[in-house]
């Protein structure tokens, strides 16, 4: 099955377990934004829509001020640059699977000459005990809540507090990669300002959970945010208008953020149901936020073919993709749970994953039977 055929199958699907796979109607999106638009379009970030969004996010996080950025890559580099400049230490500590290091071409190193200090083991959460291995002074400690590449795992509140206390005692500033921070409140059972208060600066995404048209917000002390505005210009991030980002983000705050506890509950239900399916494991077990990683037994090509075969028959896509793991016969996918996920009953999701494993195994057995005949020829 080639990529074009898979695209045609996805286009005909009516239900999506992974909310990121669900299509969005551009016309509906822009009509909704038009209804929210004011009398004047934002110009260079000085418009009412942007000011209102920045003030709103600052209040949601309990910070003095906030600034809208076009990307998290830019915002986090700027935050770390300011924090490290003020401490006089160019070294940043973070988990080995830190998004800045793994997914952003190490821009912090090439553009700002930071030194990275990976802390802990790449396949488990950073823990307070790992910090005792750090001997050099850190300008900043970056923590990610939740840890996306570990399936959305979170440290306990006690260990998180211990980590931030260690940083304070060692003179390191604290920055939170909170791209999906909106999901964390049910796990910690604490308001967002209490979580954000552990950190000097906090970055939150406006599109990963809130379905905004891109962008993010960096929040922190007023003087840091004012300096961040200068760095935004230096990075080429002063856009002629931020209006689509600001309006769509406010729509997400109004309509999606209040539903986040529902999405987290659905993720936990899915995790429990899939953990009972032979050949399937979930990480973490149980899920802690509105996302999880699903590990499925089967060979990559056969699982992928079975995935789209099922999607064609049931018009339901249960995963956006499968990617290899260290084990040749175990593949993984990431599920982000959102509004689209609620349309598929949890029991049916488990049934479809069980059928996926069965079909992939049948494909493998058929291929094994054909192999000797080919060798004889």
Give the tens place of pLDDT for each residue, 176-188. Answer: 999 999 999 999 9
List every span in the chain annotated with CATH 3.40.640.10: 37-255
Q: What is the DSSP letter of 137?
A: P
- Judged on CB neighbours under 10 Å (0-12, 13-18, 19+), 276 is exposed
Judge whether residue 377 has pLDDT over 70: no
Percent of the chain having pLDDT more than 90? 93
Helices (H) and strands (E) in the chain, counts: 14, 13
pLDDT tens column, 192-244? 999 999 999 999 999 999 999 999 999 999 999 999 999 999 999 999 999 99
User: Class of the 3-22+259-376 domain?
Assistant: alpha beta
User: Class of the 37-255 domain?
Assistant: alpha beta
When pLDDT is cut at 50, 70 and 90, the band that residue 39 belongs to is: confident
Secondary structure (H, E, C), 239-296? CCCCHHHHHHHHHHHHHCHHHHHHHHHHHHHHHHHHHCCCCEEEECCCCCECEEEEEE
DSSP-based three-state secondary structure for 46:
coil
Q: b/e string for 337-370 if b means 16 or more Cβ within 10 A? A: bbbbbbebebeebbebbbbbbebbbebbeeeeee
Q: What is the DSSP letter of 97?
A: T
When pLDDT is cut at 50, 70 and 90, the band that residue 364 belongs to is: confident
What global pTM score does this model have?
Answer: 0.94
Q: How far is CA 226 from CA 45, 75, 220, in A?
A: 13, 13, 10
Judge whether residue 374 has pLDDT over 60: no
User: Tokens 């018009």 appear where?
Assistant: 315
User: Tokens 């309990």 appear where?
Assistant: 62
List every span in the chain annotated with CATH 3.90.1150.10: 3-22+259-376
pLDDT tens column, 306-335? 999 999 999 999 999 999 999 999 999 999
Tokens representing residue 139 in the block: 């300008």
What angle (nearest 5°) sits at the alpha carbon of residue 80, between those of residues 79 and 82? 70
């Amino acid at each position: 099955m080639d990529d074009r055929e898979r695209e045609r199958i996805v286009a005909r699907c009516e239900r999506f377990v992974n909310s990121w796979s669900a299509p969005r109607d551009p016309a509906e999106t822009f009509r909704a934004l038009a209804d929210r638009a004011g009398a004047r379009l934002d110009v260079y970030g000085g418009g009412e829509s942007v000011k209102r969004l920045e003030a709103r996010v600052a209040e949601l996080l309990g910070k003095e001020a906030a600034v809208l950025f076009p990307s998290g890559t830019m915002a986090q580099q700027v935050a770390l640059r300011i924090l490290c400049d003020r401490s006089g230490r160019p070294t940043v500590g973070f988990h080995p699977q830190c998004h800045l290091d793994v997914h952003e071409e190490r821009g912090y190193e090439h553009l700002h000459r930071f030194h990275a200090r990976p802390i802990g083991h790449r396949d488990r959460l950073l823990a307070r005990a790992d910090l005792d291995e750090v001997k050099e002074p850190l300008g900043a400690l970056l923590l990610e809540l939740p840890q996306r590449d570990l399936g959305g795992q979170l440290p306990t509140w006690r260990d998180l507090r211990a980590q931030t206390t260690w940083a304070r005692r060692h003179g390191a500033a604290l920055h939170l990669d909170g791209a999906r921070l909106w999901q964390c409140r049910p796990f910690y059972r604490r308001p967002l300002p209490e979580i954000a208060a552990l950190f000097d600066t906090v970055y939150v995404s406006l599109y990963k959970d809130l379905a905004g048209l891109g962008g993010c917000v960096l929040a922190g002390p007023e003087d840091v945010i004012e300096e961040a505005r200068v760095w935004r210009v230096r990075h080429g991030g002063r856009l002629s208008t931020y209006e689509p980002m600001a309006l769509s983000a406010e729509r997400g705050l109004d309509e999606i953020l209040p539903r986040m506890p529902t999405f987290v509950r659905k993720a936990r239900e899915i995790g429990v149901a899939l953990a009972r399916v032979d050949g399937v494991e979930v990480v973490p077990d149980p899920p802690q936020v509105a996302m999880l990683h699903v590990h499925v037994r089967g060979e990559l090509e056969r699982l992928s073919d079975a995935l789209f075969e099922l999607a064609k028959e049931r018009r339901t896509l249960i995963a956006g993709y499968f990617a290899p793991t260290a084990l040749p016969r175990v593949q993984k996918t990431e599920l982000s749970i959102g509004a689209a996920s609620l349309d598929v009953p949890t029991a049916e999701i488990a049934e479809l994953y069980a059928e996926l494993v069965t079909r992939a195994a049948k494909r493998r057995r058929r291929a094994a039977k054909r192999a000797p005949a080919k060798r004889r020829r």
